[in-house]
Amino acid sequence: MYAWNYPNETDFILMGLTDSKEMELPLAVLFLLIYLFTVLGNIGMMLIIHLDAQLHTPMYFFLSHLSFLDLSYSTTITPKTLENLLTSTKIISFAGCLTQMYVFVLLAAAECFLLASMAYDRYVAICNPLQYPVVMSTRVCSALVTASYMIGTIDSTVNMLFMSTIHFCRSKVIRHFFCDTSPILALSCNDTHNTELMIVIFSSFTLMVSLITISASYVSILCTILKINSTSGKHKAFSTCASHLLGVTIFYGTLIFTYMKPSKSYSLGKDQVASVFYTIVIPMLNPLIYSLRNKEVKSAVIRVIKKRENSRQIISHWC
């Protein structure tokens, strides 16, 4: 028998996404392309928000942190997944597995509360526009982002403390492509009921509190929009939060499907597909969702490009 307390004996083998050798290279190429788009899209979004003064608003402040979180937890998962698809060992060390799980839970929990903060921002902007500059001040926005990271850290630390009680006595093969809670719990040879219960409680708290905040915000927003007499006014008000609502629906849909159930009901096929979606695909989709449907971002990109062109012309003129 070996436990988390003996790291020299606890290297794991990640089963990965497929048993077919023929599928590994195509999947690796696909995930590499997705990861490159994720890196370029999220870094591009952060740079545009930083460089364009007209985007220095609460909504885009939150969006820049969302891009940072998406980039970070995609980077936590995807490179190791690519390595496992392209090599035959598929081994992850104890420290690597522990770190991957801790960082992923921290970032995912932080994103839940950041999305809730973004929903609250849209609620204030639409339902209390006159109070918006006061309510969503720089100090308040910074506090909300800081709280998101702090809650994510607490949630991840608690999760790790409960996982540290697990002992393994049989297989070291993790039936997943990254170190996640459910497939690791499935390897335990001792009773994990209490551990599983506490993890489900904390995960449910994170999901439900943030989801209730988002739902309450959008119910209020919908009620306010329905009171607007002008059709164009309704369309404009709805378009300001449509991208966020779409991102929230995709993100929470896959998280709830995966985590709001006992680990014994873990399904290799279905849960892996859902996991691929929120760990690899969604971080790529978010920059597209928030930029392609947002005229302000498109305009900001054009302004930044024009500024760079003007700067080059001035430099070339003086040279």
269: CATH: 1.20.1070.10
Residue 193 Cα distances to 73, 297, 302, angstroms: 28, 48, 55
Q: What is the pLDDT of residue 113?
A: 93
Say if residue 70 is exposed, middle or buried (CB neighbours under 10 Å; 0-12, 13-18, 19+): buried
Give whichever of 96-100, 188-192, 309-313 has the largest mean pLDDT: 96-100
Domain that holds residue 104: 2-318
For the segment 27-74, what is each residue's pLDDT rounded down to a tens digit?
A: 899 999 999 999 999 998 898 888 888 888 898 899 999 999 999 989
What is the Cα 150 distance to its own chain's centre? 15
Task: Answer yes or no: is pLDDT of 4 > 80.
Answer: no
* Nearest residue to 266 (alpha-carbon basis) of 15, 96, 75: 15
Q: What is the pLDDT of residue 10?
A: 58
Q: What is the pLDDT of residue 107?
A: 93
5 pLDDT band (50/70/90 cuts)?
very low
If one compares 154 and 240, the residue with the highest pLDDT of the two is 154
What token pair was written down for 162? 């409960």
Residue 262: count other Cβ atoms within 10 Å of its Cβ.
12
Number of domains in the chain: 1
Q: Which residues pair with 14 in a beta bridge?
A: 174
